[in-house]
Amino acid sequence: MTAGEQTLERAAEVPAYRGHQVEVLRTVRLSPSFVRVTFGGEDLAGFADQGFDQRIKAILPLPDGSITPLGDGGDWYQRWRALPDELRNPIRTYTARAVRPELRELDIDFVLHGESGPASRWATHVTPGDRIVVVGPNAAHPGPLGGQEWAPPAGATHLLLAGDETAVPAIAAIVESLAGSVRATALLEVPEAADALPLDVRPGVDVTWLPREGARHGDLLIPAVRDVLSTLTAQGGTVAGEPVPSAPASVTPLEDVDIDEEILWEVPQAPEVSGGDGLYAWLAGEAGVVKLLRRHLVQEAGIDRSSVAFMGYWRLGRSESA
Ligand SMILES: Cc1cc2nc3c(=O)[nH]c(=O)nc-3n(C[C@H](O)[C@H](O)[C@H](O)COP(=O)(O)OP(=O)(O)OC[C@H]3O[C@@H](n4cnc5c(N)ncnc54)[C@H](O)[C@@H]3O)c2cc1C
């Protein structure tokens, strides 16, 4: 067997994502809408620290506090789906805000939006010692681990990140790790002014918090994104001296996404990601808002879709399990 074949065989045996048994070590109420939960456990020694917008799954307890075992394999999802309703734990998607494998620690920042969803309810009442399972990237896997969408092309000269409170952990992790001199603008819509969290960013990274204070989701974010784009294009159709990547003149009309039926998740993958200079945008949050932003960027502003990641993180009035 060649070395390449051995790696493939190992990749099939050692899954890219697996369940990690974790226990709540401590919680910090960061602001009215955010609680940071720090998890610990020996299992986290093998949790890969990839940074950026690392997606994970939280497997939450059933009403009696139990978590049905799903095994260590990569087939955890199929096993979960095959369980009878009464044994199937709620699963919700979150972001690894920080990973410290050497300390066997993981931080997740939960938005507290009331008692209507199992994850927000759990995070509202969480106490040290509570246990869940986090499905996340497995450092032992020999191939790519995935679960990240942040992929600016090397030639990007301006980065635009925009999202609501559910995207704050991802945007915060991204902007805090930006290296080099590329300019970045982050627009973060949050429920109230006290949810503006301190972020450790370098010069050239502009962070603007947009407190809704009772307004609807998107009411502040959408005009703020429009303003940034029009400022950039008013600078002679350039971003930081480079052209805004515009769609080819013969671009096909933007197909509609029915966000009540399907997830809005339109992310250019390398090598699709535009290798051109100029703007790269990453947009996440409530699906209806992201859909409006998508229309604005692609149809009205004519920005090339291969330069923008659009992600519906949640849907107003719909549970993630629906
Ligand atoms: C890749 C990815 C990363 C994410 N990262 C994070 C993260 O780091 N932190 C985080 O808090 N969320 C994050 N989210 C969003 C999170 O998965 C959803 O908010 C999820 O619906 C919460 O589950 P729940 O059990 O609380 O509510 P659900 O059972 O899913 O929904 C119950 C009700 O609550 C509403 N609802 C859900 N979320 C919100 C909200 N934020 N505000 C108001 N109403 C809401 C729903 O519309 C529904 O009516 C992420 C989502 C994705 C796809």
- What's the pLDDT tens digit per position in 61-107? 999 999 999 987 889 999 999 999 999 999 999 999 999 999 999 99
- 33 CB under 6 A from ligand 1? no
- Residue with CA at minimum distance from ligand 1 atom 29: 117
As given in the structure block, the two tokens for residue 248 are 């080819």
pLDDT bracket for residue 274 (50, 70, 90): low
pLDDT above 80 (res 237): no
**DSSP 8-state code for residue 255:** P
Please tell me the residue having the least CA distance from ligand 1 atom 6: 94
Which residue has a Cα nearest atom 24 of ligand 1?
117
16-54 per-position pLDDT tens digit? 999 999 999 999 999 999 999 999 999 999 999 999 999
d(CA 154, CA 237): 20
**Local structure of residue 279 (DSSP, 8 states):** E
Query: Does the structure show a pLDDT above 50 at 209?
Result: yes
Q: Is the CB of 313 under 6 A from ligand 1?
A: yes
**Single-letter code of the amino acid located at 176:** E
Give the rounded percent of residues in the chain with a pLDDT score beyond 70.
Answer: 88
Q: Give the pLDDT of residue 291.
A: 96
Cis before 271 (ω within 30): yes
Average pLDDT over all residues of the chain: 90
Residue partners of 174: CB distance under 8 A and separation at least 6: 52, 53, 150, 161, 282
Burial class (CB in 10 A: 0-12, 13-18, 19+), 76: buried
- What domains does the chain contain, in order, with CATH numbers? 17-137 (2.40.30.10), 156-314 (3.40.50.80)
Angstrom distance (rounded) from CA 262 to CA 242: 35
Structure confidence at residue 180 (pLDDT): 87
Determine phi and psi for 45, rounding to 5 degrees: -60, -30
Give distance in angstroms: CA of 248 to centre of ligand 1: 36
Confidence at residue 283, expressed as pLDDT on a 0 to 100 scale = 98
Q: Which of 56-60, 227-231, 233-237, 308-312 has the lowest mean pLDDT?
A: 233-237
One-letter amino acid for residue 52 of the chain = F
What is the atom index within ligand 1 of the atom nearest the CA of 111? Answer: 11
Nearest CA to ligand 1 atom 53: 313
What atom of ligand 1 comes closest to residue 165's alpha carbon? Answer: 41
The residue whose C-alpha atom lies closest to atom 42 belonging to ligand 1 is: 113
pLDDT per residue as tens digits for the range 280-322 = 999 999 999 999 999 999 888 888 888 999 999 999 999 998 6
Residue of minimum CA distance from atom 27 in ligand 1? 117
Please give the pLDDT value at position 6. 66
pLDDT at 215: 98
Task: Say if ligand 1 is within 6 A of residue 282 CB.
Answer: no
314 Cα to the center of ligand 1, angstroms: 5
Ligand 1 pocket mutation pick from 56, 95, 314 by most atoms within 8 angstroms of CB: 314
Q: Which residue has the tokens 């994502």?
A: 17
The count of C-alpha atoms lying within 13 angstroms of the C-alpha of 283, restricted to the half-sphere facing its C-beta, is 30
Q: Residue 285: CB within 6 Å of ligand 1?
A: no
- The SS3 assignment for 278 reads strand
Strand, coil or helix: what is 229?
Answer: helix
Question: What does the pLDDT read at residue 240?
Answer: 40
Assess contact for 88 and 68: CB atoms under 8 A.
yes
The 10s digit of each residue's pLDDT in 111-124 is 999 999 999 999 99
User: Would the pLDDT of 236 be above 50?
Assistant: no
| pTM greater than the 0.85 cutoff | yes
In this structure, which residue's CA is closest to atom 16 in ligand 1? 93
